[in-house]
Amino acid sequence: MTFVDDRYSRQELFAPIGKEGQSKISNSHALIIGAGALGTGLAESLVRAGIGKLTIVDRDYVEWSNLQRQQLYSEQDALGRIPKAIAAKERLLSINSSVKVTAYVMDVTITEMEQLLEGVDIILDATDNFDTRLLINDASQKEGIPWIYGACVGSYGLSFTIIPGETPCLQCLLETIPLGGATCDTAGIISPAVQVVVAHQTTEAFKLLTGNKKAVRGTLYSFDLWENHFSSIQIEKMKKDDCPSCGKEPSYPYLDKGNATKTAVLCGRNTVQIRPSVNKTIDLVKLAEGLAVLGNVSSNGYLLSLTVEEKRIVIFQDGRVLVHGTKEIAEAKRIYHQYLG
């Protein structure tokens, strides 16, 4: 036996996987959307496990603040502001050159999502915003591809697995999972929280890819490492027959371009307006408390203003946001998701 032949031997010795399961992993295609903390952890775990093909997508580049928890990147990547997807691919191929790694530097919208799903067996959520997750959810339901939700901030994290036709989808659980709120840029994050979520997502992926569906955790798992709390909530009964994404007559609302996050450059104002795809009422007082550590915050009861990155962000109670100081929609969306989730 050569060292190459021996590569996955310890994984194959794990009875639920075995040689047959390893063969299934090696013939599978995983799509990871997001190449930040969760995305890099997931990508490395799958590549080391011998996934056949991995597609990783991200719109951002490597910064110094990423290095604390985004495990594929180096100081050289941050110095050169290398796009995350490109830096990730280079590192992943140095770990396992037999895996076919495809990297895209792009913002995933409806059009991109449709193109990315060809031949994909599983989708892993490593995004930083709910708009993209809702898009993943509808695409998953329409194409019948399972996906694994994951999120973390501070010392808190959660994860659950969505199997089209069997489990509740993200839309079903919107009342259970808080929309937006704190982000890593407002509340910080510790790397162990990332690692726990990655462990759960990767393990669930192994179960699905090797045909061990009965072992899939049928709960919404959440934890707070700092407070020593964890919970596992049964979600089977939360599946809704009238759900627009997975119900008896699905309409897949987030694949409708009319329901996507709406952006517009305001004429003559060097400002981009962003309307989120999900209607929500913002608690401006609570939001001001969370954003105060980042810059100058002011509020008048109707709107909140934050000055950061030489830009002024104005947030209204209905969720509408104005990003002053840029006409670039991509930059405005980056700032929006970075500070508002």
Catalytic residues: 184
What's the 3-state SS for 148-193? EEEEEEECEEEEEEECCCCCCCCHHHCCCCCCCCCCHHHHCECHHH
Residue (of 145, 128, 143) closest to 39 by Cα position = 128
Please say whether the beta carbons of 96 and 118 come within 8 A: no
Q: How far apart are CA 105 and CA 34, in angstroms?
A: 10
Q: Return the bridge partners of 179, or none.
A: none
Residue (of 239, 199, 198, 197) closest to 218 by Cα position = 239
Alpha helices (runs of H) in the chain, residue ranges in sequence order: 9-12, 18-26, 37-48, 75-79, 84-95, 110-116, 130-143, 184-187, 191-209, 284-291, 329-340
Q: How far apart are CA 299 and CA 287, in angstroms?
A: 10
Helix (H) / strand (E) element for 8: namely: none
Give how far Cα 312 sits from Cα of 89, 264, 304, Å: 35, 16, 10
- β-bridge pairing 147-153 and 122-125: parallel
Tell me which DSSP letter residue 83 carries. Answer: B
Cα 144 versus chain centre, distance: 19
